[in-house]
Amino acid sequence: MANASLLSVRDLTVKFPRIEPVRNLSFDVSEGETLAIVGESGSGKSLTALALMRLLPKAAQITSGRIDFSGRDLLKLDDRSIRSLRGKEIAMIFQEPMTSLNPVLTIGRQITESLRLHEGLSAKAARLRAIELLDLVRIPAPHKRIDDYPHQLSGGMRQRVMIAIAVACRPRLLIADEPTTALDVTIQAQVLDLLDRLRRELSMALILITHDLGIVTQWADNVVVMYAGRKVEQALPEALFADPLHPYTRGLLNASPRLKDDYHYTDGPLTEIPGSIVSAIGENGCPFAPRCPIVRSGCRTRVPDLLVPAEDRLVACPVIFAEGERHVAARGL
């Protein structure tokens, strides 16, 4: 893992009318690092990714914060400048490849569009490069498959095409939003292995967005856990799995099967987190309080600060330290 910070997000808040689905979110991604952002549907993960790409819906706006990418604040760039970055230096793999790919264009046409726009390649050179990219993501017989339409490919192959499009211009940062959704366990592991291999071969950073903590053990260098738009815990994966601190993180782990090296999930019962993710409207106190097994009266009146129980560790839950067993300090991240 490289040391230099490539992306630095500080106090990012995204607002819709009457709600703030992302609030005061901060994190860093180093060059060559894989950061996993984990949480249930509705926790703000995908909106965070769209904010980084400057692709938020019209009803949404960023009301505060900074997004520094390689020394540039992306929130201050004009539309032309952000378009020149998008796809070239920062790329994203969107959810549901069948709906993300254009059904009336061949996969070759969809790959070459980015190459011709950002790299200025001729039609012939772009096609040759597209065949190389299909081979890179392990599409069999790429010189034939390049003329296929999305409906002619399996779900796993469509996902590989999405990856080929995303890495076509060798971006410095790749955002993968639920890249294994609707894929069987063997294909999931293959896609994650592919992303990790491309990260290393292309020397790019990777943000892996997922609802499943069980899949990040083998691939993430750092993990951010989000709940109701806020970061509730951050840790190295080994520490997070060995000693989850926030009650929500513990709940996610208990509800997530673990993926083993042989591409099979571990056996054992799973435990559901009671209730559902709360709305951001009129929030008082800790957003997880209505579902928390260790909730105290004070949890319902004050949003908890992020505490630092150890190096490379952040957690937004003072209750677990109430007995003074851990030394903590407040931190504004």
Q: Which has the higher per-residue pLDDT, 115 or 322? A: 115
Among left, alpha and beta (phi > 0; psi -120 to 50; other), residue 2 is beta
Going by C-alpha positions, the residue among 316, 321, 320, 322 that lies closest to residue 331 is: 316
Torsion over CA: 26, 332, 254, 281 (sign): negative
pTM: 0.90
Residue 85 has pLDDT above 90, yes or no: yes
Predicted local confidence at residue 187, as pLDDT: 83
d(CA 332, CA 307): 9
Look over the chain and give the mean of its residue pLDDT values, rounded to a whole number: 88
Burial class (CB in 10 A: 0-12, 13-18, 19+), 287: buried
d(CA 328, CA 307): 6
Predicted local confidence at residue 25, as pLDDT: 97
Q: What is the pLDDT of residues 129-165, one digit of tens each?
A: 999 999 999 999 999 999 999 999 998 899 999 999 9
CATH architecture for segment(s) 5-89+171-331: 3-Layer(aba) Sandwich (3.40)
Percent with pLDDT over 70 in the chain = 89
Residue boundaries of the structural domains of the chain: 5-89+171-331, 98-170
Q: Which has the higher per-residue pLDDT, 283 or 41? A: 41
Residue 330 has pLDDT above 60, yes or no: no
